[in-house]
């Protein structure tokens, strides 16, 4: 990696770290610059604007999520084995990421859902793309494959269980959260294959 | 209602309004006092401390939630008719409340889940009680009634669909969110009754 790319990556890491803790709206250019050992104007050798820096950070956050959650499943057989691996890794992700300031994507979702603009647009594009990838995988659960609408319904439930798990674990310190989510997901997979 | 009680209720309303928008941590005594036409010290004729005021606000928020979501179902037959009404009203609640600064309980859950103390304790007590009430209702879906653990599993899924609905609607502006949540819930009720 060239020096410029390495610096750009460090800026993105630091921006992501701050945004996960306090939200993109509260990220300070001065703090980011200081943490990476640059001046504020030094930042703008790597990004055209603060928004450009934030967009790159959000994009990198999604790339990390995909690498963590999806990539280990890439070599598995399509359909259920792959989806089970993705679900487990997704649960892991919410636990690992919440330990350190929270998941950047979840934080951004809550922060930006009612703020129209390029950040929200990017968030929507990437979340929709992720759901579409899952829906494609769902289709391999059945022969003949289910319709896109049916697959989206299954994705809705899968994502709901991820959210339910986070709430149970974070708010209620419920040690049974993971078992509850897994049981719900297993039953969902069973039904989807059987119909 | 006596004058003192009416003032107390206005303070609670105002605190709840501010907390839903910016979080309990950022609620300013000065702003609350000004909005209800009192001095800061005037607030403390009604509450022992800021925390006391915040606890009363959170408690009142839950009371409002129960009145909105549960009370209309109280006269319905137990089991599925009651649960269907509760689920619909709960979806309504997330839509109505999100329109105005967001749901106080959801906001407090995200804010306080990693802040131990009396507020988090109250939140946990009330959320657990709410889940217990739903679990009790779930049992009327089957004869002989299902176990508490089974009922909690069904409650987990019901709550997950509420969270999934909020995300789909708020972040993705998905007009099919309600239909997706309803289909998932109907299927959950069917299965729970059949087993």
Rounded (5°) CA angle A158-A80-A152: 40
Q: Which has the closest alpha carbon to A16: A96, A102, A93?
A: A102
pLDDT of residue B122: 96
pLDDT of residue B62: 95
Neighbouring residues of A193: CB distance < 8 A, sequence distance ≥ 6: A80, A141, A142
Q: How far is B140 from chain A (nearest CA, A)?
A: 20
Q: Is B124 on the interface with A (CB under 8 A)?
A: yes
Report chain B residues whose CB lies below 8 A from the CB of A150.
none
Cβ–Cβ of A164/B163 closer than 8 Å? Answer: yes
All domains in chain B, ordered by first residue: 58-194 (1.10.357.10)
pLDDT of residue B128: 95
Rounded (5°) CA angle A153-A155-A156: 65
pLDDT of residue B87: 98
pLDDT by residue, tens only, chain B of 195 residues: 688 899 999 999 999 998 988 889 889 999 999 999 999 999 999 999 999 999 999 999 999 999 999 999 999 999 999 999 999 999 999 888 655 567 888 888 878 877 889 999 999 999 999 999 999 999 999 999 999 999 999 999 999 999 999 989 888 888 899 999 999 999 999 999 986
Under 8 Å CB pairs connecting chains A and B tally to: 74
Residues B110 and B133: their CA atoms lie apart, in Å, by 22
Q: Are B97 and B104 in contact (CB under 8 A)?
A: yes
Q: How far is B45 from chain A (nearest CA, A)?
A: 32
The three-class DSSP label of residue A86 is helix
Q: Which of A113, A163, A184 sits opposite B163 (nearest CB)?
A: A163
The three-class DSSP label of residue A33 is helix
Which chain B residue has the Cα nearest residue A168? Answer: B156
Cβ–Cβ of B127/A156 closer than 8 Å? Answer: no
Q: Are B86 and B69 in contact (CB under 8 A)?
A: yes
Cβ–Cβ of A110/B110 closer than 8 Å? Answer: yes
The three-class DSSP label of residue A117 is coil
Report chain B residues whose CB lies below 8 A from the CB of A127.
171-172
């Amino acid at each position: 990696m060239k020096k410029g790319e390495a610096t750009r990556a460090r800026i993105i890491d630091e921006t992501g770290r701050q945004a996960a803790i306090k939200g993109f709206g509260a990220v300070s250019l001065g703090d980011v610059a200081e943490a990476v050992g640059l001046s504020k104007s030094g930042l703008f050798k790597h990004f055209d604007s603060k928004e450009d820096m934030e967009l790159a950070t959000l994009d990198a956050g999604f790339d990390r999520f995909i690498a963590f959650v999806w990539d280990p499943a890439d070599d598995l057989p399509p359909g259920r084995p792959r989806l089970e691996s993705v679900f487990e890794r997704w649960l892991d992700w919410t636990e690992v990421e919440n330990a350190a300031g929270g998941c950047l994507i979840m934080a951004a979702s809550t922060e930006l859902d009612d703020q129209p603009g390029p950040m929200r647009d990017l968030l929507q594009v990437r979340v929709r793309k992720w759901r579409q990838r899952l829906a494609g995988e769902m289709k391999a659960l059945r022969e003949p494959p289910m319709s896109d609408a049916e697959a989206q319904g299954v994705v809705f439930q899968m994502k709901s269980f991820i959210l339910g798990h986070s709430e149970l674990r974070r708010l209620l310190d419920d040690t049974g959260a993971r078992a509850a989510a897994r049981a719900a997901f297993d039953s969902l997979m069973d039904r989807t294959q059987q119909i």
